[in-house]
Structure 1
């Protein structure tokens, strides 16, 4: 997950209100229900020590969701009476929750707004193609290609003139396939889509695939299900889910391999809170791997005002010269360091089954940058 969008949360000091709201169950009573949710979240924040201005800002932000089309939910991060960030969630949270803490509670975003592959579904026929973007937030049109319209039908006659006509048909199909492939490549460049799903007859799918740039071939999936088929919708979601699993498994494989010293005796992986804290202070985090249910994720660490001021024990911060310190969850503290040093992060929750104990010790690990 690219964490750059979280930067506004670390440009100002805390404490922070962090709220996750489920908006997936929309009914005629949704605005009223969200008002009740807003009041409950505001009350919970006040009980945890939040100031009234920040609690009210959160309440107003939640009430405003009554007119929002968010299909799953929203996170709200606020301090000193203002909402600093309110990202839309790609998955519904497991219930509404409010936290008042020195750092924003961002770790749940790795699962709720993290790996959400964008797919271009291309509906292909001999005349052209329609493109549609799909993600967890829904679908939207992404353009169309209209190729040559004539001739497009074959004949079974052996007459020379008819064979000449068939040649024109072949040329038309090839021309249209090339135009579709070019437009699809442009659409992928513009959207950054992770997947290209081709829908249509086998021959048209194949001809478009063959004309795509080689760099895109590994992103292509061909579907045999037609436009409007419920089976197509199911397949698109399966393809998106499989993509997430494969990506996480690939990163886990990188981590496992990096545990072993290379030819120069260097280890490119670290795990456990003490090692990760040291790596964070040295700006060596490349990609955090977090198992949400791991015991180290909620382990207490100590932080100062600066992201580099991070320690396992409070006395360590005092030795480093930090006068002010607060306790924080290890996952949120490490994510602050990752955001401010342009590192990435990944939740392992989607592939925990079958991985055994071959995941980062305690549930926290990282791939390391070279010194």
Structure 2
């Protein structure tokens, strides 16, 4: 997973104030609940020495995601009275947190982007009956799981049932264009039980390359027409994609496993990851979820200034050093060296210290 969305976070002079906040709307009086949560974080930021202008600009941003229904969260980063990064989170944070640091706590935000799979949904339904029967197709592109809170527009196409063969051919062409524009790896084709004809006609008119990417999912009998403000077929897409990796991350994982078999000491654990990032040698950092208990590392002015002790950083000539949570220092080094992030479920591949590193090259055995 590429992390270019974090670039500005590391080009802004610190210190940077950050907050992770549950802004869910699935409770009674959510505005009051969010305001109370923010009050605690605001006090915490002030106690850590955050300047008033920065706290105020963050306060103005809190609560502006009221248009997103259901469970979700917010990640806010600001410095010197300006918002640096503001993202909605598909899941609320495990707990509300606030921090002021030279090395921002960006790993929780990055992890919420995973597995970052581009997809397209096609949902077919019937409206009317008899000679007035219509086939309705709804299409929506997205990147899972961020599509939960960052929706693309829905497209809707209506075709009379007796014209569905021609309508399906036109829809297949539109679908192919949408897949290519969005780089979709998966096409999720939904239809209610008892509606195999509409789905079969469309499949038969799709190019072979698209049929190979298509996964059919059942949808309940309820009306799918209402736009709830959430992603189209969100639950079905989540069941299908949540435990997957995108194509690029899967390639990195396969390469990593081959590398680890040959060079285990260089490939696994915090020590191996730090050594690779110091040299700009990391192609991708692998992290387990759930995460290991928080460790501490040391960082300097540059992304490659990362070490397990302050003395080690002085050897690298870092003019100033500071202690930081390991994940904060690691993700900064990943972004700063142009590496990528692969989030791997622990049950699929447990890693020492919950961390592994895929190298751009390896030293001779």
- Specify whether residues 368 and 217 from structure 1 end up closer, same or farther in structure 2 by C-alpha distance, changes over 3 A only: farther
1:256 equivalenced with 2:257 (yes/no) = yes
Render the CA deviation track for 1:265-297: whole Å, top value 9, x for unaligned. Answer: x789722122111211222222222125544x6
Q: Return the alpha-carbon distance in structure 2 between the equivalents of residues 133 and 359 of structure 1.
A: 32
Aligned equivalent of 2:298: 302
Q: Where does structure 1 lack aligned partners over 5 or more consecutive residues?
A: 153-171
Aligned equivalent of 1:121: 122
Aligned equivalent of 1:337: 333
Residues 302 and 313 in structure 1, CA contact (< 8 A), matched pair in contact too: yes
Which TM-score applies when normalising by structure 1?
0.77
Q: Return the alpha-carbon distance in structure 2 between the equivalents of residues 258 and 212 of structure 1.
A: 39
Matching residue within 179, 182, 186 for 1:195: 186
- Specify whether residues 196 and 294 from structure 1 end up closer, same or farther in structure 2 by C-alpha distance, changes over 3 A only: closer
Paired residues, number: 337
Name the SS for the 1:108 alignment partner: helix
CA shift for structure 1 position 327 = 1.1
Alignment of 1:8-19 (within 5 A): 8-19=8-19
CA shift for structure 1 position 7 = 0.4
Aligned equivalent of 2:235: 237
- Specify whether residues 273 and 352 from structure 1 end up closer, same or farther in structure 2 by C-alpha distance, changes over 3 A only: closer
Residues 304 and 325 in structure 1, CA contact (< 8 A), matched pair in contact too: yes
Matching residue within 148, 161, 170 for 1:136: 148
Matching residue within 274, 286, 289 for 1:289: 286
Residues 255 and 269 in structure 1, CA contact (< 8 A), matched pair in contact too: no
Aligned equivalent of 1:272: 269
Q: Return the alpha-carbon distance in structure 2 between the equivalents of residues 14 and 121 of structure 1.
A: 45
Aligned equivalent of 2:130: none
- Specify whether residues 320 and 234 from structure 1 end up closer, same or farther in structure 2 by C-alpha distance, changes over 3 A only: closer
- Specify whether residues 244 and 253 from structure 1 end up closer, same or farther in structure 2 by C-alpha distance, changes over 3 A only: farther
- Specify whether residues 207 and 283 from structure 1 end up closer, same or farther in structure 2 by C-alpha distance, changes over 3 A only: farther
CA shift for structure 1 position 6 = 0.6
CA shift for structure 1 position 225 = 3.5
Residues 284 and 340 in structure 2, CA contact (< 8 A), matched pair in contact too: yes
CA shift for structure 1 position 254 = 4.5
CA shift for structure 1 position 74 = 0.8
Q: Return the alpha-carbon distance in structure 2 between the equivalents of residues 139 and 81 of structure 1.
A: 29
Deviates more, 1:132-141 or 1:184-193: 132-141
Q: Where does structure 2 lack aligned partners over 5 or more consecutive residues?
A: 127-133, 225-230
- Specify whether residues 229 and 258 from structure 1 end up closer, same or farther in structure 2 by C-alpha distance, changes over 3 A only: farther
- Specify whether residues 16 and 84 from structure 1 end up closer, same or farther in structure 2 by C-alpha distance, changes over 3 A only: same
Matching residue within 193, 204, 212 for 2:206: 212
Render the CA deviation track for 1:10-41: whole Å, top value 9, x for unaligned. Answer: 00232222101111135674334333333211
Residues 301 and 319 in structure 2, CA contact (< 8 A), matched pair in contact too: no
Alignment of 1:115-194 (within 5 A): 115=115, 117=117, 118-123=119-124, 129-133=137-141, 135-137=147-149, 141-145=153-157, 152=162, 174-194=165-185
Aligned equivalent of 2:228: none
Deviates more, 1:311-320 or 1:2-11: 311-320
Name the SS for the 1:86 alignment partner: strand
Q: Return the alpha-carbon distance in structure 2 between the equivalents of residues 57 and 98 of structure 1.
A: 15
- Specify whether residues 214 and 367 from structure 1 end up closer, same or farther in structure 2 by C-alpha distance, changes over 3 A only: farther
